[in-house]
Structure formats: C-alpha cells, structure tokens
Chains A and B, each alone.
Chain A
C-alpha cells in the first residue's frame, strides 16, 4: 500500500518556465512533508519541507504548497533551470521524535534549455 504517491513518473519543462511536481498521500496522521532532489550517482539531498500547520513554505525559487483536505502537496520551481533536472522525491512523516520518512516513487524532471 503506497502511502505517498507521485503519479507522474516524468515531467519536461522549458527553461525559465514553472515546474510543478505533485504528491498525494493517504495517511491523515502525516504532519511533516519534505522534498528531496536526486542526481544520478548521488544520494538524495534535502530541498524544502513544510509542517502541516502551514499551507505554504518558500525558499528562493522553490515553494511547497500543502492542501491537507485534499491530502496533496506540490513543489513549484520558478524559474526552472537546466540544473534542476533531477529526480524529485516527496516524503512524509508523522513527526514527533520518530523521523521515519515514507517516500514517494519519484518524478524525473527534465528542464530543456
């Protein structure tokens, strides 16, 4: 049972445009969400996170939106750059002291020059 779902395996965007990556979850107990970015032959690196008490968090070109009623979060990258081409994983946790993360299956973003 996949508790965190990324239904788009891949996404292609033109440089300078907005990239929107989506993630859905089924467990209403999740209260902390994260996005990771992964380049080939490297481990995932933390990008941005959001607590369930918020509906938006912004860090430079990256913004994460959380819609708790829809159990949906999205990552917006504006403007997209070729260096953003990578696999993006969303992850969720129940917070507290556990730090166990449940990851989605990933979305491969290709930013075309």
Chain B
C-alpha cells in the first residue's frame, strides 16, 4: 500500500465551485505539504504544516486554504475555483530529521 495517498486522482470542476483535495499518510510523519506543478514552473509550495496545530502559508497560498484534521490527514480546499488553478497538485510528508520529502501520486485538477 502507498505511504502517501491522494484523493481524488483526477477532478474536473467548474469556475466558482468549492473543491477539496485530500491527503493521507501512513509514514507517521509530523510534517505535511501541498504543492502545485505547472508546466515550466516546477513545484511550488502552497501550504505546509509541521504538526496538527501548525499551519503555514507557502509561496502561492492565495485562493487556497488547508485543514490538518489529524497527524495523518491534510486537506487542501479551493473555496471558489478559477481556471488558473488548473494544475497537478501534490501532497508530501517528511519527518523532523531528514529533509527528504515523500510525495503522493498527485491530483490532476481541471477548472473549466
């Protein structure tokens, strides 16, 4: 079984709709992250959380919000989706000692 799972894997939604992307991990890591990948721009950090009570904005947090429901669960919400939020979204986890992050398989989101 995968250590980091994301649901849904693909989603098409309309402009203005609210959508939630979910991430779960079984690695026992405290730290979790949300990234988006766009062609030519690499991976950019949206939000990160170092424990259940700690939420921090990344470099591109506008238009997004997150919820850390438990150590193992970290959700990303788009309150009112817009077309330029069409992207590939990745969740990742890490522990406190090593810098290596472990990524989920990604969610491909299309906003029409």
Residue contact B100 to A49, C-beta cutoff 8 Å: yes
Per the CB 8 Å criterion, the residue count for chain A at the interface is 26
Question: 0/1 per residue, B7-42, Cβ < 8 Å to A?
Answer: 000000000000000000000000100010000111
Chain B residues contacting A9 (CB-CB under 8 Å) are: 40
Chain A residues contacting B42 (CB-CB under 8 Å) are: 4, 6, 89, 103-106
Near A by CB (< 8 A), chain B positions 60-74 give none
A59 to B90, CA, bound (A): 26
Chain A residues contacting B92 (CB-CB under 8 Å) are: 43
Residue contact A46 to B43, C-beta cutoff 8 Å: no
B97 → A minimal CB distance (Å): 9
Near B by CB (< 8 A), chain A positions 68-109 give 89, 91, 93, 95, 97, 99-106
Chain A residues contacting B99 (CB-CB under 8 Å) are: 32, 34, 49, 93, 95, 99, 101
A51 → B minimal CB distance (Å): 9
Does A41 have its Cβ within 8 Å of any Cβ on chain B?
yes
Chain A residues contacting B103 (CB-CB under 8 Å) are: 36, 43-45
Using a CB–CB cutoff of 8 Å, the interface residues on chain B facing chain A are 4, 31, 35, 40-45, 48, 58, 90, 92, 94, 96, 99-106
Residue contact A43 to B44, C-beta cutoff 8 Å: no
Taking CB as reference atom, which chain A residue is nearest B100? A46
Chain B residues contacting A97 (CB-CB under 8 Å) are: 96
Question: 0/1 per residue, A33-66, Cβ < 8 Å to B?
Answer: 0101000011111100100000000000000000
A36 to B35, CA, bound (A): 14
Q: Which of B48, B96, B106 makes the CB contact (< 8 A) with A42?
A: B106
Chain A residues contacting B96 (CB-CB under 8 Å) are: 97, 99
Q: Which of A32, A89, A93 makes the CB contact (< 8 A) with B43?
A: A89
A48 to B105, CA, bound (A): 20
A106 to B42, CA, bound (A): 6
Chain B residues contacting A41 (CB-CB under 8 Å) are: 105-106
Residue contact A43 to B105, C-beta cutoff 8 Å: yes
A99 → B minimal CB distance (Å): 5
Residue contact B101 to A99, C-beta cutoff 8 Å: yes
